[in-house]
Structure 1
Amino acid sequence: MDHKNRTLVPANGGNPLGHPPVKRFGLYDLGQTTVYTASQHPSFSYCLYVPPNFQLSAVKPELVVVVHGSPRTFMDFRDRFQDFGASENALILSPLFPVGVQGDHNADGYKYLSEPGIRYDEVLLGMVADVSSRYDLRFDRFALFGFSGGAQFVNRFMLLRPEWLWAASICAPGSVTLVDDVSDWWVGTRDVESRFGLALNRAALARVPVQTLVGAQDVDTDEITHVEGGRNWMPGANSAGRTRPERLERLRASLLAAGLSVTHEVLDGVGHDPVPMISHTKQFFAAELARLRAAADASPCAQFPTHS
């Protein structure tokens, strides 16, 4: 059967009193969606979970972005957050940042937010714009989760674009960027404005609730030790510590010193495994989303910053 022209409406098919007209979507645009090309950056793609009845919910839909690690199992991360999306009326956006988009076999560009000709913060924001347009929604801010290499992306996106986030969960990054006016990017933040054209927005950064998670047994150093002459080598590359727990503790201390609220957990008996961390992230995001919605209900005319 050819499904190309089939459309779906929410399961109850109706349009309850007081709701705006229900927009119809394609068969693969609701629930676990197909994979879409990023319209502004066609070398990249993403998939979604979209609650089938999101238009009929009593609460405004929100957005959660989940970022893969080096194996790039992006659809699996989407699927593991599906229950959260369904219960919280949240769209789950899972980007795919493939290896070697420049033909140079670079597997790490997205972790550091840039490589020649590519700004990964802009790639993600382009995807958010795509989702907003497709579903007729406005996302002024979103929650951002990442594991391992994805956690490096979250760490650095948060430093560069904090005004876009209502929460961030950083799980087991191999390397970290500290709020540090002495060291250049990526070890510190001294030169972010000259490098990216964006000054460090300390006021917006301090408003982002952050969760940091790592397994107590995640202590292998083979993959995370920077070697002089390597693609991402720079002075101070290993100065945050030897292991992931040590490096995440340095990041936690750096964020606290910058005025952020940080929920930090070291999970006993856990190695480099995202599954036990995701359940903790869902709890954290649910609590922050409840606060976000309560604040919106208390001040319905409140305006969030607009983004260019």
Structure 2
Amino acid sequence: MSMVELDKSAKRLLSGKTPFFASTFDPRFSFCLYIPAAHKFNGTRLPLLVAVHGTRRNVGGMINHLKTFSEKQGIAVLCPLFPAGIIEPTDLHNYKNIIYHDIRFDHILLAMLEQAAGIWSIETGRFFLHGFSGGGQFAHRFLYLYPYRLLGVSIGAPGSITLPVTDHLWPKGVSNIDELFGVAVDWEAIVRVPVQVIVGEKDTETEMLSGDGGSRVARAKKLFEELTRIGCVRCELEVVENVAHNGLQCLASVEGWVIKIGFTA
């Protein structure tokens, strides 16, 4: 997509922490970015980290915590907002399984990236993806669908997990991905993606969780074991000491992992 022409005032307003932008693909959804000072609108495209919120949709907290990392590393950050109450007024979980009624949240995110690439000089062909809690559910499911788009994926404390197995239907397994999403699982591509599975040491409450699997710590470990089993040689498990279910307190570890992987993985 070609870049839009912007005057100096617009460039100032579109640098640093940006306003929220409605998705032109579906205006029910929106996104914001943090654009570091290293960015030049007609310059080299900066690497990108997409950070997906949890159920409480604390996008502002994620952006505020990531802005120093963005400035130091020269990496842009994009945070989508998938509001609660889409279609069903009390729904909180719509984006987590990627598909919800007739909404494809993978398509929505990809459209946001295309829209952003038309404004900012950022690399959207391949990017880092991080999500925590509900965002962690989205992130690892996105991996199964689009491994070729990811420089790496950081999966934070998912409350439910989709295992890389073909004897369960989505979202427990991947046996019917082709039917649901129109794509086949590319195992060779999946196992090449660097993966971080991260969870707080004290994230042991189960009251809000459904199904079998124990705590988020247990579920994170199970997902890590299964990804390792299928051959993800660059898969890491990090259990953050003295942290419960708090995504912001895990971000420093996510940042360190991204730096270690490098922006051209």
Answer yes or no: same fold by TM over 0.5: yes
1:223-259 CA-partner distances (Å, limit 9, x unpaired): 1124xxxxxxxxxxx2xx2111111111001111122
Could you say if the C-alpha distance between residues 120 and 136 of structure 1 is closer, same or farther in structure 2, counting changes exceeding 3 Å?
A: same
Mapping for residues 236-251 of structure 1, pairs under 5 Å: 238=212, 241-251=213-223
Q: Is the 8 A contact 2:18 2:34 kept in 1?
A: yes
The alignment's TM-score, normalised by the length of structure 2, stands at 0.92
Inter-partner Cα distance in structure 2 for 1:40 and 1:198:
21
Inter-partner Cα distance in structure 2 for 1:266 and 1:138:
30
Identical counterparts, % of pairs: 31
Q: Is the 8 A contact 1:72 1:96 kept in 2?
A: yes
Could you say which residue in structure 1 is the equivalent of 2:3? Answer: none
Q: Is the 8 A contact 1:57 1:89 kept in 2?
A: no
Could you say which residue in structure 1 is the equivalent of 2:230? Answer: 258
Higher CA-based Rg: 1
Inter-partner Cα distance in structure 2 for 1:181 and 1:244:
23
Q: Is the 8 A contact 2:200 2:244 kept in 1?
A: yes
Aligned AA for 1:151? G
The alignment's TM-score, normalised by the length of structure 1, stands at 0.80
Mapping for residues 51-90 of structure 1, pairs under 5 Å: 51-55=36-40, 60-90=45-75
Mapping for residues 111-260 of structure 1, pairs under 5 Å: 111-226=96-211, 238=212, 241-260=213-232
Which range moved further: 122-131 or 272-281? 272-281
Aligned AA for 1:48? L
Alpha-carbon distance, 1:28 to partner: 2.1
Aligned AA for 1:147? F
Q: Is the 8 A contact 1:166 1:208 kept in 2?
A: yes
Higher relative contact order (CA 8 A, sep 6+): 2
Mapping for residues 28-67 of structure 1, pairs under 5 Å: 28-55=13-40, 60-67=45-52
Inter-partner Cα distance in structure 2 for 1:75 and 1:45:
13
Q: Is the 8 A contact 2:191 2:230 kept in 1?
A: yes
CA RMSD of the aligned region, Å?
A: 1.9
Alpha-carbon distance, 1:282 to partner: 0.2
Could you say if the C-alpha distance between residues 137 and 145 of structure 1 is closer, same or farther in structure 2, counting changes exceeding 3 Å?
A: closer
Where does structure 2 lack aligned partners over 5 or more consecutive residues?
A: 1-5
Inter-partner Cα distance in structure 1 for 2:238 and 2:17:
30
Q: How many residues of Structure 1 are paired with residues of Structure 2 in the alignment?
A: 259
Whether 2:244 is the aligned partner of 1:271: answer yes
Alpha-carbon distance, 1:41 to partner: 1.4
1:251-276 CA-partner distances (Å, limit 9, x unpaired): 00111112212111112221111233
Q: Is the 8 A contact 1:59 1:89 kept in 2?
A: no
Q: Is the 8 A contact 1:225 1:242 kept in 2?
A: no
Which range moved further: 54-63 or 204-213? 54-63
Alpha-carbon distance, 1:7 to partner: 4.5
Alpha-carbon distance, 1:26 to partner: 3.7
1:192-238 CA-partner distances (Å, limit 9, x unpaired): 11111111111211111001111121111111124xxxxxxxxxxx2
Aligned AA for 1:286? I
Could you say which residue in structure 2 is the equivalent of 1:289? Answer: 262
Aligned AA for 1:257? R
1:1-31 CA-partner distances (Å, limit 9, x unpaired): xxxxx953xxxxxxxxxxxxxxx84432110
Inter-partner Cα distance in structure 2 for 1:186 and 1:119:
14
Inter-partner Cα distance in structure 2 for 1:63 and 1:174:
26
1:46-78 CA-partner distances (Å, limit 9, x unpaired): 110011331289974111100111110112111
